[in-house]
Chains A and B, each alone.
Chain A
């Protein structure tokens, strides 16, 4: 589904790229974990496949169409859903309105369907008492679940997350990873998670480690 070809990126110095000549493939219905030491370029890599930045070298293909062809804004709107470590939500809205807003912007097939958004939230343990409350009055774990619910409501087949459990305790972490697994297996989406935590990585279908400018596949 998603394929990188000779992907390379550097910030200032071309001679010191973060990674180089990366050729990877990600499939629908599978979850992938990306591990690596701090500062190796995991977030940078994620920003490229999320369409938030352009590669310096090589190209990324979605179903054999290059992102350049698709256009980054268009790609972000229709093909990829992103979960950040924090600040995922519109802080002046309720969980329900956050979902409805994202569905409207991304032209999701369920756009405007409050009932659908409500069911998805309920499914993730955001009860009816919480869904119309301002998101700032939700716990970190609840907020992160709302962000995950958002990716479930939108049609994008690719879901990327940058340390989505970085701010969460053990129980919430487990809960969130379960949801990502459901997205991959039940919704048949491709989930790519950057994480520091080996436990989190272990629960994904595939694991990669970024070291020495290369992605190394772990057993």
Chain B
């Protein structure tokens, strides 16, 4: 490979060839000296790998255009290519709900959503829910009912909970429990979550 630079590093008594850059996708950003590289990698101008696709979407009300590895998930787009780490990874296989975001207003599991699929669509994450300094009524209800402990599942819970109310599913405790069952909470905050949805439903439905 042409653009590969090697050097030998001595660490922990082991000598190894360190490949600082390899392959076409990685080359440009990596070949720079360290300090410059850090600058070059400011924000989103980062190396992509694999075959890339261009995605242009609206994320939390802002246009986003980026070239991204076509294998990437929406979750890894948000967390690793944008500063949107509120959305969490709990399983990466659609089995926990921690990664729930809204796609065109509906909750989806971002770990099983190919990033490429958001082209031309609207994504809302937990960071995009509050308006200005005001919390969304559901966020307030989660605080009021202490519907969380470690908070790791919480962004996903809240995104589902909002849809539970806006979709008209907050009709009874059992209906809420069923709708909210796609979000596992290992801390077991389910009782508080039910109460929070009930409280917010009153506010949201006016």
The answer to whether A and B come from one shared complex is no
